[in-house]
Amino acid sequence: MPPAKSENIKLIVGLGNPGDKYNNNRANIGFKILDVIGNNINVEIKTKKKKSMIGRGTFEGDEVVLLKPQTFSDLSGESVLYIASFLRIRVQDIVVIHEDVTLELGQIVIEKGGSDNGQPGIASVAQSLRSPNFIRIRIGVKNDSFNLKEREKFLKEDFLPLENLKLIEIINDAEAAIRSISIGDIEEVIEKYKL
């Protein structure tokens, strides 16, 4: 007999920047993935709450809140803290999806706690929650043109046409990874999706 489902609400956060001009930026991969998840479970992410856009529904048997911070990515902690506190969501029940310039386009790594790997949005969330022990889904966006000294400029560039073709596969892979977190043992999932 499988273990009983937890009654805790899960918070799934996609990092990105609000505004149409940022829609296809590399930095907005978290928003893109969250939109697909919302669409697949019939949840619209449109309720405005304290510098946030949220939607609520059910994902793999768990009650979930999908959150898009509207503070710009580097200040995401403010939104995450407010929603997590308001809904009494535990740190270990928070999943944050974000771009990672240290990983090649399409690579997916899942971690719990640890370093922010130089990602300001993750640093903001950890600082606001006073804990790094949430789950991070790192999505690689790096390509051959990436230059570490121009990180912000690179992240504000749109995906290239050929990369857009690969994005569908990347988003589907990321959604599958998130589903595996909901239905499996987190340590096993981390092991499967580690570098």
The Cα–Cα gap between 92 and 144 comes to: 35
Closest CA relative to residue 28, chosen from 19, 38, 16: 16
Looking at residue 139, its pLDDT comes to: 96
| pLDDT at residue 62 tops 90 | no
User: Tens digit of pLDDT for each residue in 158-181?
Assistant: 999 999 999 999 999 999 999 998
Judge whether 109 and 158 are in contact, CB under 8 Å. Answer: no
Q: What's the whole-number mean pLDDT along residues 29-58?
A: 94
Q: What's the CATH code, domain 10-192?
A: 3.40.50.1470
Instruction: Sort strands 52-59 and 94-104 into parallel, antiparallel or unpaired.
Output: unpaired
Q: Angle at which helices 120-129 and 77-86 pack, to 10 degrees?
A: 40
pTM above 0.85, yes or no: yes
Per-residue confidence at 149, pLDDT binned at 50, 70, 90? low
pLDDT for residue 115 = 86
List the beta bridge partners of residue 100: 140
Rounded Cα distance between 165 and 184, Å, is 30
Q: How confident is the model at residue 49 (pLDDT cuts 50, 70, 90)?
A: confident
Provide the total of helices (H) and of strands (E) in the chain, helices listed first: 6, 7
The secondary structure of 14-76 as a DSSP string is: E----SGGGTTBGGGHHHHHHHHHHHHTT----EE-SSEEEEEEEETTEEEEEEEESS-GGGT
**For all residues of the chain together, what is the average pLDDT?**
90
